[in-house]
Structure 1
């Protein structure tokens, strides 16, 4: 299977799992932490899909920077940004309020997916 296509499919799967973790509250802690970790997984796979020549570590770093930027922008309360966050899609993408636990969840999600990518997906690849 084409590696780039696989990253696309994995990103879609991570979106589905992330939405399910928030919609169905699979676990008591799932909607709070699992969803944020899966958001970071989605961003990681998105970078792997969009930039196929980028290796694992730079992809992980880019995903972390992106997720951290999204989290820190939640401390900004510009009227137009607050209006975007009040929509369903805006809330899902931009979040609502800054939490250090989200930073931890993003970090755990990226660390886990980077490890899995390196050990399982790319085990036979020279792209590391």
Structure 2
């Protein structure tokens, strides 16, 4: 249960940081405002899978995160009226994106891999510290 809470907090943190990177884009360095939003979105997806699959090995969440993120990006190549109208809404645009960009695949990869490393080594350290305190 603690793991689900920790992953939920990490997921919410990624959401807040991601929205912040968009909302304050004009006040951030250009490299951050261009790249971090997509990386944070993918990190949020990773932590969402960890919430759902807490008892599973981390690599499963990594694979599912890549599949989901890349699937959403490649779905942007499909341009029909009904889905473009859905993408034009705030929630549809946040989930489905607007247009395909190759660089987004790199951004997603960075976000997922960073999250995995933070999960693997950061959370493991916290758990070890908690064990020592007991």
Does the alignment reach a TM-score above 0.5?
Answer: yes
Q: How many residues align?
A: 125
The answer to whether structure 1 residue 109 and structure 2 residue 111 are counterparts is yes
After TM superposition, the structure 1 = structure 2 runs for residues 4-23 of structure 1, keeping only pairs within 5 Å, are 4-23=4-23
Shift of 1:84: 0.6
Match of 2:132 in 1: none
- Root-mean-square deviation (Å): 1.4
Shift of 1:122: 2.5
- Asked if structure 2 preserves the Cα contact closer than 8 Å seen for 1:11 and 1:46, the reply is yes
Q: Which runs of 5+ in 1 are unaligned?
A: none
Q: Which has the higher helix share?
A: 2
- Asked if structure 2 preserves the Cα contact closer than 8 Å seen for 1:22 and 1:30, the reply is no
Shift of 1:104: 0.2
Q: Which runs of 5+ in 2 are unaligned?
A: 129-134
After TM superposition, the structure 1 = structure 2 runs for residues 21-100 of structure 1, keeping only pairs within 5 Å, are 21-25=21-25, 26-100=28-102
Query: Highest CA radius of gyration, 1 or 2?
Result: 2
Partners of 1:70 and 1:27 in 2: how far apart? 27
Partners of 2:15 and 2:78 in 1: how far apart? 26
Partners of 1:113 and 1:51 in 2: how far apart? 15
Partners of 2:29 and 2:75 in 1: how far apart? 28
Partners of 1:80 and 1:29 in 2: how far apart? 33
Partners of 1:120 and 1:70 in 2: how far apart? 28
Q: Normalising by the residue count of structure 2, what TM-score does the alignment of the two structures yield?
A: 0.88
Shift of 1:51: 1.4
Partners of 1:74 and 1:33 in 2: how far apart? 18
Q: Normalising by the residue count of structure 1, what TM-score does the alignment of the two structures yield?
A: 0.92
- Asked if structure 2 preserves the Cα contact closer than 8 Å seen for 1:14 and 1:42, the reply is yes
